[in-house]
Amino acid sequence: MNAIQVLRKTIEFYRELGFEYLPLKSSALRNLAIGQTSESIPASVNPHQQVSEDTCSYQLNKEAVLDDLRNEIGDCRRCKLYKGRKNIVFGEGDPEADIMFIGEGPGRDEDLQARPFVGDAGKLLNNLILKLGLRRQDVYIANIVKCRPPNNRNPEEDEISICSPFVERQIAVIDPKVIVCLGKISAQVILRSKNAISKLRGNFFSYKHIPVMPTFHPAYLLRNPKDKWLTWEDMQKVLEKIK
């Protein structure tokens, strides 16, 4: 496959993920024009690694694509949450993770540190991950909205509709084996459901062919420690699924 075809595949892949532009140096475009494929292919493209047909014929470097997505978000002012936030909390972890945890939104500690799940609820989540035989850096953690809602209230519908496409694009890039939705907001948004988390948890659902396990939010478990064993049961099912 020649360089122009590689570039076309790359552009198609980015477009499918919702990107409106593909950052390329002008020198790379000149090289493409004269057929110098060794330097014209973007660094994030590996022309020898196959992926599924519903993405593209070449595997892009997931970390680079996530960086591009973070840059696209920029100093986001798309919804009213920007007025009270200190930092955007994009998400973190292994771009090749088998498990992706999705919460609802940053809290105070997350807003200050620009990292997801670093407060008391985050400590509980970290302990849960360790008990699964994994490390925090082995999974990927994100939220439905990237900015802290005032007083830790639930994200409102307009905020969710504006921000949730970003986490959906993170899911598309990471393509985990299992998504774990932490709490009602996450589960309802990802699954397009109105059911309570108590009815959803413990059962596998599907998001674009990816198994989804809804479970209780760690903040809920801090208030209701008697239900920790239910979340542990849910996570045992997740471990079975990824094996």
Domain annotation for the chain: domains and CATH numbers? 3-60 (no CATH), 65-242 (3.40.470.10)
Q: What is the pLDDT of residues 92-144, one digit of tens each?
A: 999 999 999 999 999 999 999 999 999 999 999 999 999 999 999 999 999 99
Please tell me the predicted confidence (pLDDT) of residue 137.
98
Is the pLDDT at 34 greater than 90? The verdict is no
- Pick from 171, 165, 220: nearest CA to 66: 171
Q: What is the pLDDT of residues 62-87, one digit of tens each?
A: 999 999 999 999 999 999 999 999 99
Q: What is the mean pLDDT of residues 182-188?
A: 98
The continuous run of DSSP H or E covering 191 comes out as: helix 184-191
pTM over 0.85? The answer is no
CA distance 6 to 57: 9
Phi, psi for 94 (deg, rounded to 5):
-85, 120
Is the pLDDT at 185 greater than 90? The verdict is yes
- Pick from 116, 133, 99: nearest CA to 212: 99
